[in-house]
Amino acid sequence: MVGLSVGEKHFIQGGIAQDLRSDGRKRLTYRPIYVETGVIPQAHGSARVRLGATDVIASVKAELGKPSALQPDKGKIAIYVDCSPTAAPMFEGRGGEELSTELSVALQRCLLGGKSGAGAGIDPTSLVVVEGKVCWDLYIDGLVISSDGNLLDALAAAIKAALSNTGIPKVDVAVETRSDEQPEVNISDEEFLQFDTSGIPVIVTLTKVGRHYIVDATSEEESQMSSAVSISVNRKGHICGLTKRGGVGLDPSIILDMISVAKHVSEQLINKLDSEIAAAEASEEES
């Protein structure tokens, strides 16, 4: 937890009320975002995202598996976040474990939709090789290296960048296989299929401080929040997921206004993130 004096708390709250935050930003302005791709050679895809002093890495590993009997037409996706104890003092011991679980669950809600897969930002049907028999299992790991607020938005951006960097090996399936047998597959070492990230949303977290809400809150600003709502929005402006934290309730009309603001802010964030990912991948190819 960030320890602030009474004067510092008033300064942060007063600045937000006047639409001039302590680092000079307006309420709905993000910090500069930087993207680096291909940071983990052993993974099928990886990316590092820095949002001010918040620094996170996401990696994607793909393995062949078998679809579940309840969803034979869908691959499986698992998201897990680890908070490095060196990222912030509160991450030491059980504090880090609890936050890791909270972030993992929030990312699954916002990116993978409900249990039925409805509203999923990542399409699990695209991971099926042979329906009911062979699919790709995606293991998405996030690592918090340094924390200065807004971890959820940064991790979602890193996952989007890592999936854009992901190449899944092409799989050839033997034609002559009985219906009750597991088909033989041949995994290519040379041909890779690029992951389609056009439908993957970004997450916009609106943090309520006093009467106002802000985007991309720093740790100091988060320490003054009453509640926060994280909304995942895709390129078409569709809401893919929503999660809330903080003990204070919110009026439904305020949540509807937050969703409207998140849609507006997400357009700028998606465009900025797309250009940063394209620049990072071009730099990776040159090197």
The domains located in the chain, with CATH, are: 7-286 (3.30.230.70)
H helix intervals, the chain = 6-17, 94-112, 151-164, 219-222, 252-286
How much is the mean pLDDT over the chain? 86
In the predicted model, what is the mean pLDDT of residues 63-91?
Answer: 84
Query: What is the rounded distance in angstroms from the CA atom of residue 17 to the CA atom of residue 27?
Result: 9
Query: What is the rounded distance in angstroms from the CA atom of residue 145 to the CA atom of residue 115?
Result: 30
Determine the 3-state secondary structure of 155 from DSSP.
helix
Residue 172, pLDDT score: 78
pTM (2 d.p.): 0.90
- Read off the pLDDT of residues 181-212 as tens digits, 9 standing for 90 and up: 677 777 777 778 787 788 889 999 999 998 89
Determine the 3-state secondary structure of 11 from DSSP.
helix
- Token pair, residue 68, equals 């579940």
Residue 46, pLDDT score: 95
- Read off the pLDDT of residues 114-147 as tens digits, 9 standing for 90 and up: 555 555 667 788 888 888 888 889 999 999 999 8
